[in-house]
Amino acid sequence: MARPKNFDEERALDAAMRAFWVNGYHATSTQDLCDATGLGRSSIYNTFTSKHELFTRALTRYLEAMTARQLEVLEDSAKSPLERIRALFDLLLAGEEENRRGDRGIGCLTVNTVVELGGADPATARLIERDQDRRMTALRAVIARGQRDGEIRATRDADQLARFLNSVVAGIRVAGQSGADRDVLAGIAATALDALVA
């Protein structure tokens, strides 16, 4: 047929994702993307059409990877509902530990994107909304199950508790980004769980 690309598209996507994650959409220039991926401008535009399209692809990849891992934890039938939620926080904390630049975390691409583009880029906002729905559904199910088992307080409905947890997750991400260390984040997570078991 024709000349093949001499780079791995998914590897390039990962590098771009990382760049957007660390610096944000606007602060990442096409030159930065070339440097991060090791590709030339032509290859990037030939493969991904535009900066925005590349961002969309990178974000989609991020959402899929993160949510897949979270759902795996939430649906682990070897654990009780409450243990799964604890495991979810463990996963989160491990991720925060892993992704640090200097004295602070780089946050979560989802949260970062909601904050930076949420109001200005409806297509991206929808992408994140659909992902949130998936996570919320799984979370709600686990909580409802825990409530039936008597492991989780039933004084608030599963939906409300799920939204609370989801919001705490975002809060932990922001706290990590503003410099809180692992112990502090673990303390926040543990305290949040108090609201579920009391």
Which residues are at the interface with DNA (CB under 7 A)?
1-7, 28-31, 39-43, 45-47, 50-52
What is the spatial distance between Cα 183 and Cα 190, in angstroms, rounded to a whole number?
Answer: 10
Identify what 15 binds: its own copies, DNA, none; CB under 5 to 8 Å per kind. Answer: none
Radius of gyration of the chain (CA): 19
Chosen residue from 71, 87, 91, 114 binding its own copies by CB under 8 A: 114
Q: CB 183 → its own copies: shortest distance, Å?
A: 10
The yes or no reply on residue 136 touching its own copies (CB under 8 A) is no
Are the C-beta atoms of 17 and 109 separated by less than 8 Å? yes
**Residue 69 contacts which entry, its own copies, DNA, none (Cβ below 5-8 A, type-dependent):** none
What is the nearest approach in angstroms of DNA to the Cβ of residue 54? 8
In this complex, which beta carbon is closest to its own copies, that of residue 56 or of residue 132? Answer: 132
| Nearest approach, Cβ of residue 172 and its own copies (Å) | 6
Is residue 141 a contact residue for its own copies (CB under 8 A)? no
Residue 191 as a binder of its own copies (CB under 8 A): the answer is yes
